[in-house]
Structure 1
Amino acid sequence: MDCTGAGTTDLGADWRLVDGVATAWFDAPSLIEGAALAGRIAKLPTETVIDVRATGARVRLDSAEHAEAVSTAARDLGLAANPAVLQQLSVVFESADPPAVGRFWQRVLDYAPGQDGGLVDPLRRDPTAAARDLGAIPDPGLPRFAQLLLDAVDVGAVRAFWSAALGHTHDRRAGVTDIHDPRRLNPVLVFQQLDASETQRRRQRNRIHVELAVPSDIARERLATAVAAGGRLLDESADRWRIADPEGNEIVIAFG
C-alpha cells in the first residue's frame, strides 16, 4: 500500500492533511511567540483554529488557500514548521445504540454534535488555546481536565505500546503511569493496574477504540513503530490500519 506523497499536494512544505483538514505545527520558544503568530493569523479572512502551547502553535484551516499566508507570518516571526509531529486523536465508542450513548456523553461532557456525527467541545477546552494579550478573558467556570484511563494487567507493556504509537512522553513523577503529548494537544493517558483474575471486568473492556489521524507521509512509519512496540496488525483498508496493543485494546491509524 502506497501512503506517501498524498496530503502535501498544493499545501506547501509546512502543511499536511490531517483528518481531512489542512494542518501545520510551528515550533515556538514560548507562549509569547505562539500568541504573536495567533494575532497575525486572526487578521486573515478565514475560519482558523489556533492552539497555542508553550512549545509552539497548531493551526487548522477551513481553506488551504490561506496556508501560504500563515507560513509567511510564521517565517516573519522566526518560527519553523514541523510537520512530522502532526496528528489528531479521537475516541470512538462502539455501541449497539449510538444515539443513546451519544446523548449520555453529550450531557456528561457538555459537548455539541459535530458535522461527522460525533461530539465536539464547542469551547475547544481540550485542547484549549489562551492568548491574554489578544483580549482573551478567563472564565473560571469553564476549565476542565480530560484524560483517558486504560486498565492493564501488564501496565509496563501496555504503557510502552501507547507511548510509542502516539508519540507520547512518560510522566517522570514517581508513582504515576501517565503519558502525555509533548505538545499538550491531546488527552493524557493513564494506565490502571487490573488483576488478571477479574475476568468479568476484562470482558467489559474494548468497547471503545482510539483513532489517530496522521499525515499520509508518516503513516507507515507510525505503523512500524506501533508494531515494534508490541502491537498486532488486525486488518487494513485503503486509508487505515487497525492495531491491537499487547492486551487487545485497539487503535486505528488513519491517513489521507
Structure 2
Amino acid sequence: MTDPPSALTAQEFQLSGGVDDWRVLGGGAVAWFDAPSHRAGADLMGAITELAGGRDALAPHLDLRARGLRVRIPASPDGLDTADVVLARSISEAARERGLSADPAHLQDVHLTIDALHAEEVLPFWQAALGYERRAPDDLVDPLRRQPPIWFQQQDAPRPLRNRIHVDAVSTQPTAFAALAAVQSQGASSVAEHGYYATVADAEGNEVDLLPLPEEADRWGGAETEDWRLVFAGLACYPTSAPRQGAELAAVVAALADDAGLPLGIDLRPGLVTIATGKDDWEVEEGYQPLAARVQEAAHAMGLAADVRLPRFLQVVIDAVDIRAVREFWRVVLGYEEDPRADVTDIVDPRQLSMPFVFQNLDSTDEARRAQRNRIHIDLFVPDDQARARIDAGLAAGGRIVYDDEAPEWWTLADPEGNEVDIAVSVGREEIWRAADST
C-alpha cells in the first residue's frame, strides 16, 4: 500500500527535492528541456507518455518544438500534490538519461484579463467569440488547453472609450462565420464587417476581430492537405484514442519535420495531437505545403482522421503612437523577439509557445482614448526567481510600475503609453493568504 497523495502549495512543490528543473506558474508545474531536434524531443515525449500512464485528464501537456520540449503537469482543482512531485522527478530523470538539460529561465504563462462592470453580461460574448468553456464564475478556458485563459475582474468605474488593446481570433471559416452570428445573439454592442474579418465588441466595448469570413479562405487547396486549415498558422488536429497513439504520431511528424528542415509545433493533450506551423510560416516557406501533405499521409496511414473544426489561433494587437518604443517594452517583458520582416510589427515567442503580439498605429491626436486606462490587460506568470529581471527589463525600456501593493504576488507595469501587464508569481501566494487569514 502507498500513502495517498498530499496536497502541496506552489512553494512546497518547488522546495521538494529533485524538482530543480520545474517552476510553478499559472496552470501547474512547468519545465522546458532543450533538445537538438524534433526527434530528440519526441523521444522524451514518448517516455513521458509512458511515465504518466493512467493520469487521464491530468496527463502532462506536451509541447514539442524544434529547439526543445515544454512539459506542463497540470494542477487539479485542488492544486498540485506529492504525486506530481514524483512524476516531475521521473520526467527530469528521463531527460537526463537522454542527455537533455532543463532551462527554466524562460518559462512563462501569458493570460488575458478583462475588467468589466457587469461580467455576467460580457462573459457569454467571449465564450461564443472564442469557443471557450466556463471553468469558474469568472474564468474562461480553451477546451483544447492551447490558447490563453481569460479572467474577468470587477471594474471600479466606467471607461467608455475604445481600448488600445484587442484580440484577433482566427479559426476555421465556418467557425468564424458561426461565431459572428453567435456574438450578435450574445449582446454585441457593435459589429463592423470588413470583408475578410469582422470587428465585434461586447456590451462594454471590448473588441475582438473574428476571421476569416470568406468561404475557402482557410484552405491550402487540394486533397493532399485537406486536414489542414490556415488560421494565420497552418494547423491540423488529430483526435487520438490513447496517449501512446498520440506519442507515436508525434514521433512520425517529428521525423518528417527534421527531414524537411522546417520547424513544427507538435502539441499533445489528452485525446488530441495538434500540429502547427508558426504564424505565416506556411506562406513564407514553400516547403510547408509538401510537408503538410506528408504529415497528413502519415496520419491517415495510422488510421487517424483530422477534426477540421478545431484549429484556432489568437494574437494580441496593441494600438500605439510610438510603435517602436511600445514594442520594445513588450519584447523585453515577454522575452520575445522581433519578426525579421521589415514590414511586420509582430513580436514572437522564440520557442513558439505563446501567442504573438502585433502593433498598429494610433492617432496621436486622440488624447482622450490615449489617456483612458484599458479594460483589457495581460497577466504574465513567470518563475519566482525571474520576476525581478522582467520588471527591471520593462523599466529600462521606458515602462513604469503603477501598482505594487500586492507584491510579491504581482506587480502592474505600464508601457510608455499606459498599456498594462501584471508580472505575476504563483510561488508563495498560499502562504501569504494563510498568514493574512491568521491575523
Q: Same fold (TM over 0.5)?
A: yes
Structure 2 residue corresponding to 1:246, chosen from 416, 431, 438? 416
**Deviation larger for 87-96 or 34-43:** 34-43
One-letter code aligned to 1:51: D
The Cα offsets for residues 77-136 of structure 1, whole Å up to 9 and x where unpaired, read as 221100001111101001111122211111111011235831111113438998624694
Shift of 1:204: 6.2
Shift of 1:205: 6.0
* SS of aligned partner of 2:358: strand
Shift of 1:226: 1.0
Alignment partners' CA distance in 2, 1:7 and 1:226: 29
**Deviation larger for 126-135 or 179-188:** 126-135
The Cα offsets for residues 57-78 of structure 1, whole Å up to 9 and x where unpaired, read as 1111142221110101111222
TM (normalized to structure 1)? 0.90
- Aligned counterpart, 1:99: 120
One-letter code aligned to 1:29: P
- Aligned counterpart, 2:91: 70
* SS of aligned partner of 1:216: coil
Q: 1:183-202, aligned counterparts within 5 Å?
A: 183-199=351-367, 201-202=369-370
Percentage of pairs with the same residue: 46
Alignment partners' CA distance in 2, 1:6 and 1:244: 32
In structure 2, the CA distance between the partners of 1:202 and 1:108, relative to structure 1 (3 Å rule), is same
**Deviation larger for 232-241 or 178-187:** 232-241
The structure with more helix, counted as a fraction of residues: 2
One-letter code aligned to 1:78: G
Stretches of structure 2 lacking an aligned partner (at least 5 in a row): 1-10, 76-83, 149-234, 238-245, 253-272, 274-303, 428-439
In structure 2, the CA distance between the partners of 1:59 and 1:116, relative to structure 1 (3 Å rule), is farther
Preserved contact between residue 329 and residue 398 of structure 2 (Cα < 8 Å): yes
Alignment partners' CA distance in 2, 1:195 and 1:17: 41
Alignment partners' CA distance in 2, 1:203 and 1:232: 15
**Deviation larger for 101-110 or 114-123:** 114-123
In structure 2, the CA distance between the partners of 1:232 and 1:203, relative to structure 1 (3 Å rule), is closer
Alignment partners' CA distance in 2, 1:15 and 1:212: 17
Q: 1:18-37, aligned counterparts within 5 Å?
A: 18-19=25-26, 21-37=28-44
In structure 2, the CA distance between the partners of 1:71 and 1:115, relative to structure 1 (3 Å rule), is farther
- Aligned counterpart, 1:140: 308
* SS of aligned partner of 2:326: helix
The Cα offsets for residues 142-165 of structure 1, whole Å up to 9 and x where unpaired, read as 222211100000000000000011
**Deviation larger for 198-207 or 163-172:** 198-207
In structure 2, the CA distance between the partners of 1:116 and 1:27, relative to structure 1 (3 Å rule), is farther
Stretches of structure 1 lacking an aligned partner (at least 5 in a row): none
Shift of 1:203: 5.6
Q: 2:21 aligned with 1:14, yes or no? A: yes
In structure 2, the CA distance between the partners of 1:28 and 1:200, relative to structure 1 (3 Å rule), is same
Q: 1:176-187, aligned counterparts within 5 Å?
A: 176-187=344-355
- Aligned counterpart, 1:85: 106
Number of positions where the alignment pairs a residue of Structure 1 with one of Structure 2: 252
One-letter code aligned to 2:329: F
- Aligned counterpart, 1:167: 335
Indicate the RMSD between aligned Cα atoms, in angstroms: 2.4
- Aligned counterpart, 2:138: 117
- Aligned counterpart, 1:217: 385
If asked which structure has higher relative contact order (CA below 8 Å, sep 6+), I would say 1
One-letter code aligned to 1:18: L
Preserved contact between residue 152 and residue 191 of structure 1 (Cα < 8 Å): yes
**Deviation larger for 230-239 or 27-36:** 27-36
Preserved contact between residue 167 and residue 181 of structure 1 (Cα < 8 Å): yes
